[in-house]
Amino acid sequence: MFHKAKTSTRWVQPRTLSLRELRRKSIITAVWSTALLAPMQLNGAILTGDSRTTEEASDSVLLVLAAASLADVLPRIGDEWERLGGTPLVFSFDATSRLAVQASQSGAGDIFFSADPQWIRWLEEQGTVSLGSAVHFAANELVIAVSRDVSVPVEPDKLLGFERIALAGENVPAGKYARTALERAGVWSEIEEDVVRGGSVRGALEWVVRGEVPAGIVYRTDAEAAPSVSIAFVFEGPEYPQAQYWGVPLGSTAYEESAADFVNFVLGDAGQSLLREAGFSPPQSFVTDGEAEGHAAGDAGDDLVASISSAVRLSLIVALLATLVGLVPAVGLGWVLARRDFRGKTVLSTIVTAPLVIPPVVTGFLLLSVLGASTPLGGLIASLGFPVPFTILGASIAALVVGLPLYVISVRGAFEAVDPMYEELSWTLGSSPWKTFFRVSLPLALPGIAAGAVLAFARSLGEFGATVVLAGNVEGSTRTIALAVYTLLESPTGREAVWVLVGASVMISLIALLGFEALSRRQKRRLEDRHAR
Amino acid sequence: MPADTNFHLGLDLEIPFTGGGLRVELNTASTRIAVVGPSGSGKSTILRILAGVERRAHGTVLVKEHCWQDSSNGTWVPSWDRRVGWVPQETLLFPHLTVRENLSYGGALPDWVSETAALLQIEDLLDRRSRRLSGGERQRVALGRALLSKPRILLLDEPFSALDRPLRGELSELVSDWALDRSVPIVLVSHDEEDAKWLAEERWHVGGGSLRKE
């Protein structure tokens, strides 16, 4: 069945990594954290409640589930802890909201470090932790981070001038805190339209780093560590919310004592000095309870039906667009690969097929590097009035590129199944290759081409990783079914909606696959001619 | 009407094959040529070269005053400009088209299609899909399609193999007359002595890596 490796490989920092390596990784991980984790999370942790057993079987190691914004500092504290003889630790970093849901449903993990006390309370309601053992150990301020080329200083009301503002996901603590901060600053209602949501706060920051979005609201610690961004404004003072970091041993732990010890170690001198060094504030003396609460539940209520139908509609539009636009390249490439021999054929075939095996997140990252608004090509396209990132166009391009390999492979197979002698015969009967293509090759391969289109459609429908990196998670323009499910999974509410979307997704996919099977059979029948003799 | 007295077929080819290769030197003024020999000897390849669908051979192909291939200067006339009536052994009919559409594929007018169909006794099949035909019916449709493409030369590869004896003789006579009427030369590939007898006046034998007149 399943295996600990899966739960912990994702973000678990192997103990051998040096600090420098950890820092170097931070940029890459920022993007990966937005999306890579998502599908794995679905496959892995949430669905596998029994990973715990393997965990216990290994020599005592503490699995620490921790908020993404602690990804740099916590391993350093861990080093110190281990140096002093503490139980070895492995970390899994992600958005607090996702980790909380994981911890509650998988029964895995020993310690939970949350960026929001609300989630600790929620876990207590689930019976996963005991509030009495929770410790508030640090705080983090929110800042407005801007690309280096944006002139500072910027104040909250100056955000109105920006075309887009990046925030973490709406159910992620950083995303909720940011919304609260903007509400307190009195600008939320005006800029709400311009907000684009990254999966985690690091994902949002990455867009600012890359210049795709001029400004983002992120944690001070992350902004300070990131290259090529400046901090334009700090949300300081009692009127603004701060992220409150809490640590708590999970009820599922078999190492209750060591877990509590490590939580206290973080609160102790060694931990606090490393936290201070990384830019965290000391724990707040008073706890501003429930600052960031409420939005998730409110959003999840009335608008639920609207968001579900928006996601389904958007998925269908994006998949259809990708399938239609992909038709010409798929048929062209499929035919060339089936019928022509030329230098570089292997290379072409490899490039076209690559997105099938390259992790979609990487494909998305590469696409962003080529088509992002700050790149020459992306800039050109944007100046024609078709910006790619955060638009339905971007979602469709991601779906197209990821779906194209299956498309081309199917089409190529369809053309290869057509005996070349049909084409040769057509030539001798006076039809040029071009005419022959339309009179013979295309009609004979048609069911196979349609099968490829259906397959590409189904793949586009399920596209997640490349979409979230290239096009973000914007309700109404890029939040397709897969992204909507992912967003809902971050929230303790909205489970029914998840099932509706899961049902829709599975159903559409199965129908598409049935169509594929039927069309493939038809392709076979169409060419049965030879065997009938 | 007498045979085309100006006809001349000249082949001077080196055909690469795995395990040897085939040397083809053929010069003839005959308009009825049969190429015979064991299977796998390269008979069909000679027809494919004449049809312009096989490009691996090196050398020259001359048909009447036309040079279709000359490897020394890169001359190559593509299939669609050669106007050959090629009936390959596999008798492939376009499976997505009806018999009528197959027959008129080369651009023949409807009247002419009906006429030829009657001649070949396939007029009842015109609206059928080709995949619903018997082997013999298929051969006749393939033959008809070639005849209807206004060929300069007929290239027939075992054209009657699926037909029974009486029909076989009848049909080869019919094709023979048809070609004679229109001065269309025939190159026939067959391992069947009867076919060769009916249609050919000159027999060439493939074997041992070369082509010899018998």
What is the complex's ipTM, to 2 decimals?
Answer: 0.93
Please report the pLDDT score of residue A297 as a whole number.
40
Q: Which residue ranges form the domains of chain B, and what is each CATH number?
A: 9-213 (3.40.50.300)
Please report the pLDDT score of residue A24 as a whole number.
42
The share of chain A scoring above pLDDT 70, in percent, equals 81
Residue A46 confidence (pLDDT) above 50: no
Q: What tokens were used for B188?
A: 């026939």
Q: Is A75 or A34 the better-scoring residue by pLDDT?
A: A75
Q: Is B82 or A474 the better-scoring residue by pLDDT?
A: B82
Q: pLDDT band at residue A375, thresholds of 50, 70 and 90?
A: confident
Is residue A14 within 8 Å of A63, Cβ to Cβ?
no
Q: Which residue has the tokens 């096989």?
A: B54
Q: pLDDT band at residue A303, thresholds of 50, 70 and 90?
A: low
Size of interface A-B (CB pairs under 8 A): 70
Q: Do domains A142-234 and A301-532 have the same CATH topology?
A: no
Nearest-CA distance from B83 to chain A in Å?
A: 6
pLDDT tens-digit readout, A438-459: 999 999 999 999 999 999 999 9
Which DSSP helix (H) or strand (E) runs through B70?
strand B66-70
pLDDT tens-digit readout, B15-73: 887 767 888 999 999 889 999 888 888 888 999 999 999 988 999 999 988 999 999 99
Residue A30 confidence (pLDDT) above 50: no
Q: pLDDT band at residue B165, thresholds of 50, 70 and 90?
A: confident
Nearest-CA distance from B86 to chain A in Å?
A: 7
Mutate to test the interface with A, among B48, B79, B81 (most CBs of A within 10 A): B79
Is residue A486 within 8 Å of A464, Cβ to Cβ?
yes
Please report the pLDDT score of residue A296 as a whole number.
42
Q: What tokens were used for A82?
A: 């281990």
**A30-39, A180-189, A235-244, A300-309 — which is least confidently predicted?**
A30-39
pLDDT tens-digit readout, A224-238: 888 788 888 888 888
Alpha helices in A419-464 (DSSP H): 420-428, 433-436, 442-461
Residue A532 confidence (pLDDT) above 80: no
Mean pLDDT of the region A501-512: 89
Of B82, B86, B131, nearest to A529 by CB-CB distance is: B131
Taking CB atoms and an 8 Å limit, are A529 and B95 in contact across chains?
yes
Please report the pLDDT score of residue A387 as a whole number.
80
DSSP A261-330: HHHHHHHSHHHHHHHHHTTPBPPPSS--TTTT-SHHHHHHHTTHHHHHHHHHHHHHHHHHHHHHHHHHHH
Extended strands (E) in A213-257? 215-219, 229-234, 243-249
Residue A11 confidence (pLDDT) above 60: no
Closest CA to A425 of B80, B138, B31: B80
pLDDT tens-digit readout, A51-78: 333 344 346 888 899 998 898 899 999 9
Residue of A nearest to B146 (CA): A429
CA distance A489 to A508: 21
Taking CB atoms and an 8 Å limit, are A425 and B131 in contact across chains?
no
- Domain limits, chain A: 4-138+243-293, 142-234, 301-532
Q: What tokens were used for A155?
A: 């104040």
CATH class given for the domain over A301-532: mainly alpha
Please report the pLDDT score of residue A17 as a whole number.
39
CATH class given for the domain over A4-138+243-293: alpha beta
Question: Average pLDDT over chain B, rounded to whole?
Answer: 88
Please report the pLDDT score of residue A285 as a whole number.
63
CA distance A244 to A26: 22
Nearest-CA distance from A433 to chain B in Å?
A: 8
pLDDT tens-digit readout, B90-99: 888 999 999 9
Residue A418 confidence (pLDDT) above 70: yes
Residue of B nearest to A523 (CA): B96
pLDDT tens-digit readout, A98-107: 888 888 877 7
Q: pLDDT band at residue A424, thresholds of 50, 70 and 90?
A: very high
DSSP B2-66: ---TT--EEEEEEE--SSS-EEEEEEE--SEEEEE--TTSSHHHHHHHHHT-----EEEEEETTE
Taking CB atoms and an 8 Å limit, are A429 and B130 in contact across chains?
no
Please report the pLDDT score of residue A249 as a whole number.
93
Q: Please enumerate residues of A whose Cβ is less than 8 A from a Cβ of B.
A: 419, 421-422, 424-433, 439-440, 443-444, 526-530, 532-533
Q: Is A22 or A229 the better-scoring residue by pLDDT?
A: A229
Q: What tokens were used for A493?
A: 């509410």
pLDDT tens-digit readout, A134-173: 999 999 999 888 887 766 666 676 777 777 888 988 878 8
Taking CB atoms and an 8 Å limit, are A427 and B52 in contact across chains?
yes
Close Cβ partners of A365 (under 8 Å, ≥ 6 residues apart): A31, A469
CA distance A294 to A299: 9
Residue of A nearest to B139 (CA): A533
CATH fold label, A142-234: D-Maltodextrin-Binding Protein; domain 2 (3.40.190)
